[in-house]
Amino acid sequence: MGGLKGATYSVAGGYDIHIQEKGSGPPVVFIHGSGPGASGASNFRQNIDAFVDAGYRVILPDLIGYGASSKPEGIDYTLQLFTDTLYDALQQHGIEKAAMVGNSLGGGIAIQMTLDHPEIATAFIFMAPGCVAEQASYFTMPGIAKMKSSFGSDDFSEDEQRNLISNLVHPDFAPKIPDALVKERYAVAKTQPKDVLARMVTPNLGPRLGELKQPILVLWGLNDEFCPESHSRLFLDQCDNVRAMTFAHTGHWVQLERQSEFNRYSLEFLDEHK
């Protein structure tokens, strides 16, 4: 896969937000999750070409603290900070309306952005979206305990990076993690301060999900150890136009672990709601 075009935008606070894109047609903004080494391209590298080939313009931002965007130290990484800096950069990039694809923290950002700017989203595809429960409850999930590493220090190793990614997926999939993905995320992780995780602050947007009026597709791995699959019911119970799918033997990364199914179901959904 090649042909990604990149641009960097200066946003409020003096931060830089990097956006890559590929393809032409209706825009689809892919918002990545948190974790050491995360970036727009690395989170969705296995999906980009399928969406481009189907006639969509794929937008891949790097959140503040991630990828090639600014990585400030000594601040709280709040959901509002992620959201406001991304919205600012998307506006400068010419994105006024788009379908939003959000994984984990990225799902929470897509929700917050749409609550703040209801006109921005035409439809949602969520994969194990976060920020729909109290932050403390996520720290009780078994996956969090497995994520201990020397991230943020000079001792952080590529082997630790592979282990962290392995924890995100079902054990059956872990041996299939591409070496290139490990190396790509490790290169980013070495540039990140601890604060991007240690000082992340997220609200509980669960009670506000009913305010989302756009069509929603929710995809969840039954064996997700970070964001419980039971949270899909929050969307089903509150939202007017929502479809939820659960995948067996699947962890936190439906878009990678169930790549072909994710691409097919997501594109069918987007074609339906153009």
pLDDT digits (tens, 9 = 90+) for 203-214: 999 999 999 999
- Rounded to whole angstroms, how far apart are CA atoms 256 and 253? 6
Query: Confidence band (pLDDT; 50, 70, 90) for 2?
Result: low
pLDDT surpassing 60 at residue 193: yes
Residue of 54, 211, 24 lying closest to 132 (CA atoms): 211
Q: What is the mean pLDDT of the chain?
A: 96
Residue of 49, 45, 47 lying closest to 22 (CA atoms): 49
Per the rule left: phi > 0, alpha: psi between -120 and 50, beta: everything else, 199 is: alpha
- Rounded to whole angstroms, how far apart are CA atoms 230 and 262? 19
pLDDT digits (tens, 9 = 90+) for 123-173: 999 999 999 999 999 999 999 888 888 998 999 999 999 999 999 999 999
Handedness of CA 20, 24, 30, 35 (dihedral sign): negative
Please indicate, yes or no, whether the overall pTM of this predicted structure exceeds 0.95: yes
Tokens 């201990």 — which residue?
A: 148
Query: Confidence band (pLDDT; 50, 70, 90) for 1?
Result: very low
Look at residue 274 in the predicted model and tell me its pLDDT: 86
Q: Which domains does the chain show, CATH number per domain? A: 5-269 (3.40.50.1820)
pLDDT digits (tens, 9 = 90+) for 51-79: 999 999 999 999 999 999 999 999 999 99
* Mean local confidence (pLDDT), 219-245: 97
pLDDT digits (tens, 9 = 90+) for 16-30: 999 999 999 999 999
